[in-house]
Amino acid sequence: MHILDTGPIFKFLTTDCVPELLCALGHNKIHVPQAVELEVLHTPDRHRQFEHAREVWPRFPDRFRVIIPDAATEELRQCCRAVLGMEFEDMYAEPKDRGEHMAILHGVLRARSGEQVVLVCDETAGINVIKRQAKVLLAAQARGEHVPGGSIQHADTIQLLRWAIEGGGFNGSRRQFLTKYKAMAALDSSLPLTAKEAGLTKSPPWPPDVKR
């Protein structure tokens, strides 16, 4: 299952790349914490470059979207203390990074229950937590803890774009992709300025016969 933080959602929706997002995920459902949905709906009040994403979000196909409730269960509280070193209520009361934190907490709990989880996040701090929790999970499983088979992997917008290209997204057009990438990179500082810097202009991920 794929659990998404806000940043990658903004990049794909703002640039009208919903088909490419779904292509990247093999047309599996995206899982989004309530906190992430709130950020999609309210962040454009402060950062107008994401306004179009807010407009597109209600039209995102329901059959490909699952909103994960953020109700403060005891399981979430314990997970928050273990993973983030803070009380759940204190974390949730702070808007900054709330969506990222909830994506990670939900991902950790799903992985402990045996799910294979891909956490999609572009922020360095969040990525570090995800990678650390992947190792923590493996160590716990080696001790016989949690349900076998669960895993945590990290992906970011660049990886999603790579998967989309490999899946035939952007109508197989490198020119169309480059236009979309330029628009995504202009939204914030989490992507390299050019697709070449991101390693997305050659084969792979493009088929050898695709024109530039």
Domains identified in the chain and CATH numbers: 2-185 (3.40.50)
Q: What per-residue confidence (pLDDT) applies to 209?
A: 74
pLDDT classification of 101: cutoffs 50, 70, 90 = very high
Count of residues making up the chain: 212
Per-residue pLDDT for 178 more than 60? Answer: yes
Specify the pTM: 0.95
- Residue 29: how many other CB atoms lie within 10 Å: 15
Q: Does residue 208 or residue 125 have the better pLDDT?
A: 125
How far is the C-alpha of 140 from the C-alpha of 127, rounded, in Å?
Answer: 20
**In this model, does residue 212 exceed pLDDT 70?**
no
Q: Each residue of 31-84: pLDDT tens digit? A: 999 999 999 999 999 999 999 999 999 999 999 999 999 999 999 999 999 999
According to the model, what pLDDT value does residue 39 have? 98
Report the alpha-carbon distance of residue 121 to residue 47 in Å, rounded.
Answer: 19
User: For the chain, how long is the longest CA-to-CA vector?
Assistant: 54
- Would you state the pLDDT for residue 64? 98
Cα gap 100→35, rounded to integer Å: 8
Give the pLDDT mean for 113-122: 98
CA distance 79 to 85: 9
User: With bands split at pLDDT 50, 70 and 90, how would you rate the model's confidence at 154?
Assistant: very high
Contact 121, 112 (CB under 8 A): no
Please report where in the chains the tokens 């992906």 appear, as a residue. 155
Tokens of residue 188, six digits: 């914030």
Pick from 93, 145, 91, 153: nearest CA to 117: 153
Q: What is the mean pLDDT of residues 194-207?
A: 96
First to last CA, the chain: 33
Alpha-carbon gap, residue 128 to 126, rounded angstroms: 5
Across residues 161-167, what is the average pLDDT? Answer: 98
Residue 32's H or E segment, with its range, is strand 30-33
Residue 211: predicted pLDDT = 57
Per-residue DSSP letter, 72? -
Mean pLDDT for the stretch of residues 113-130: 98
Estimate to the nearest angstrom the gap between the alpha carbon of 101 and the chain centroid: 12
Give the whole-number percent of the chain exceeding pLDDT 90. Answer: 97
Average pLDDT score, the chain: 96
Q: Provide the pLDDT confidence category of residue 208 given band limits of 50, 70 and 90.
A: confident
